[in-house]
Structures are given as structure tokens and as C-alpha cells.
Amino acid sequence: MVKITRRTALVTASAALAAPFIARSPLAQSRFTKPIKVAHLGDFSSQYAAYSGPVAEKCVRLAVADFQAKNPGIPVEVYVADHQNKPDIASSIAQKWFDQDGVDAITDVPLSACVFAVQEVVKAKNKLLIGSDGSSPRITNEACNNNSMNWLFSSSAIGKAGINAMIKQGAKTFFFLSVDNATGLGGEAALRPIIDELGGKTVGSVKHPFGVQDMSSFILQAQQSKADVIVLNNAGPDVVNSVKTINEFKLTQKICATQSSVNDVHGMGLKIAQGFGFADSWYWNLNAETRAFSMRLFKDHNQMPNAVQAATYSVVGHYLNAVRDVGNTDPAAVIAQMRKTRVNDVYAKNAFLREDGRLVADIHFMRVKKPEDSKEPWDYLEHINTIPAAEAYPLADTNCPLLKKA
């Protein structure tokens, strides 16, 4: 196996890496004279390593293995690289993969700024971004194109679910604590009018640098706003640091996170996170099927998968099935097949790929358990309710020019 290091931006699949994922038969060779090449572009060394990284890579490999168990004659190769959360590196890796290695599709891609960079490359090269990460609404709005899709939730849809829940509980005023990057700026811009529409009011906001360690000054501004709710419009360790600081300052304001996950709860600990509510597109212990899938990963990584990682497994499997059904890797034909076929797997049920590149799927509102209610490792969340896909992603919320609105 090729190992990824901080010093290496590019990691291509050697024979040792690819061989376990290649199977051939005379029938397959008559249809697929070349292997399908799928590349995992993740974060293995920076802010989102726990949210993407080795577990997401394993999800890619599981998807390939499960596909080949049913289609043993179709050859597949897996490529892996660390983009270090840097858009220029992400773009360079994508170009190299397409130009030199003949990669057909790239998956994962944490950090929305990196997604935008790769979107431009796949559009220019007529390849595919089967993205399972990046939550900026812009991905399937202004930046939408015929060569990219996003299997993960949109921060605006997740945020809307949380804000709606807060307003139903009596909250009226909101203050944004947003990360100062494409994800944070895009999310806040999308959520402000939603707050107005739901009958609330935004009373202020503050931007913090990506990956900042000391949240004190930003949390104090949120406290001074006297808003009923602090909207944490950030992700990963930024969420963890925000909640820990809020806890240290003993703020009484409610918290609404637009991009939280089970990893964040793990980082905070149940004592701090208990009662914290947020929406997500998936949870490892949602039902027997999600639990069985998660146990396959836990035994190797001692970590339950999150929504990003489950989405990676789902989109790779759906892509490979579409390539099989079409009989080739032509992007237009494959995307048409992916849109034609409903997604019914461990990640989503009866979901579909819309013309703007958005996977339209249900969203789940979760609440963090009290420490005494947790029965096993990673048993952190209680499922409160499900927001149906049509409600979570209405046509009115997208302005992608590719989408034909009625």
C-alpha cells in the first residue's frame, strides 16, 4: 500500500495499491478493456483528517470491494492523495490524475474551497467529481456544472432544520459565528434570509479564521449580542473549540450548529456536548443497516463513520453501478444513469440526483445524549425526527442554471 505523508501531495496507485481492486474475466474485458479509475482526494494531515482521511479511504475501498463481489469481471483501480486542505494542491492533484493517470472520477474532497477548485478542473477536462464532502450551498448553486455532484448535505439545509427547531422552541434572535472561508460565508448568506422567512431576526455576526485555537474574543461578541441562539457556522475542530469555549464561559444562549457531526461530539465529550442538537444526513446507529455497516469500519479504525464517510461509500458504489450499466465511463452517459437510478443503500433511501448535482435525501435532527444514557462507545446521539428530502431541498432554494424549474 502506498502511504500518504505530509511531505507528499501526490500519491498515485502503484501495482501494489491497485492489484487487490482489479478483477478480470473474458466477459468483462469485452466491455471494459481498461479499468475504471476512481480517486479519493481527502485530508489526511490537516483540519479534517478525522472527518475524511483513512476512514473515508476505507469507505472507497469497501464500495469497490462490494461492487466487485457482485461484478467480479469488472476491473477497478483506486488512487489516493492528501490535498492538505489547500485548493491549489487539490487542483494540481486533479489535473495530474486526469492528464497522466487517466482517472475517471474523483470522490470526497473536504473543504468547499477545494471542491470549487476541483469543479473547475473536471469541467475543463470533461471528467467527474463525485463529491461526498464540502457543504457550501454554492457547490450546487452558482458553481454547479454538468461534471460535478455533491452527495453530502448542504450547510443551508442542515442549518435551516436546526434554526426551524430553535424557532419552534421560542427563539427569536440569532447571532452568527462563521468561519471566514467559502463554506462559512456561503452558509451565512444562505441562512440569513431563511431566518427572516421563519420569523426570526439576525442581530449580528463575527467571522473567525479557519482553524483558530482561541475562540474567546469571538464567543464574547456572541454573548454580548444577547441573541437567543448562537449559530455555529463552522465545522470540525472549529465547532469543538466553539462549544468548549461556550461551556467554559457558562453562556446560557442556545447553540445551533450548521455542520456538526458525531466526530465533534467525540471531541467535546458527552459531559460538555449533552443536550446539543444538530441536523445531519446520516448517523451510524440510526438503524440495523447503518449499524452493521459501521461495525465493518470500527474494527479496523476504532472510530464510527460519519456522514461524509458514509456518503463516500454511497456515491462510489452508485457511480460504479452506473458505469457498469452504461458499459463505459463517458461522463454524460454515467451522470444520466446516476440520475435515472434512485439511491437505496446504507446512506440514503429513495434519494435521487438532481440536475444541479445535489443528492436530494432526507435529513435527520439529532440530540446529544446525557453521559448516563450512552450504552457503548460512540453511542452519542438520539434521533429526534426526520426532515423529508423534498422539504430539506426544495426547488426554490437553488439557482443553478442547469435546473429546469417548473
Is 403 a domain residue?
no
Is 2 a domain residue?
no
Is 147 a domain residue?
yes
Q: What pLDDT shows up at residue 23?
A: 40
Is 335 a domain residue?
yes
Is 327 a domain residue?
yes
- Residues of the chain whose pLDDT is less than 70? 1-30, 405-406
256 and 176 share one domain: yes
| CB 353, CB 339: distance < 8 Å | yes
Q: What pLDDT shows up at residue 24?
A: 40
25 and 111 share one domain: yes
Residue 87 structural domain: 15-153+286-360
Q: What pLDDT shows up at residue 405?
A: 57
The count of structural domains within the chain is 2
What whole-number distance in Å separates Cα of residue 217 and Cα of residue 225?
Answer: 13
Q: In this structure, what are the phi and psi dihedrals at residue 188, rounded to the nearest 5 degrees?
A: -65, -45
pLDDT digits (tens, 9 = 90+) for 44-99: 999 888 889 999 999 999 999 999 999 998 999 999 999 999 999 999 999 999 99
236 and 350 share one domain: no
355 and 367 share one domain: no
58 and 79 share one domain: yes
What whole-number distance in Å separates Cα of residue 318 and Cα of residue 399?
Answer: 26
How many angstroms separate the Cα of 202 from the Cα of each of 23, 79, 155, 158, 194? Answer: 56, 44, 17, 17, 10
Q: What pLDDT shows up at residue 47?
A: 86
**CATH code for the domain of 267:** 3.40.50.2300
What whole-number distance in Å separates Cα of residue 10 and Cα of residue 43?
Answer: 12
Q: What pLDDT shows up at residue 383?
A: 95
Is 3 a domain residue?
no
376 and 246 share one domain: yes
Q: What pLDDT shows up at residue 5?
A: 36
144 and 47 share one domain: yes
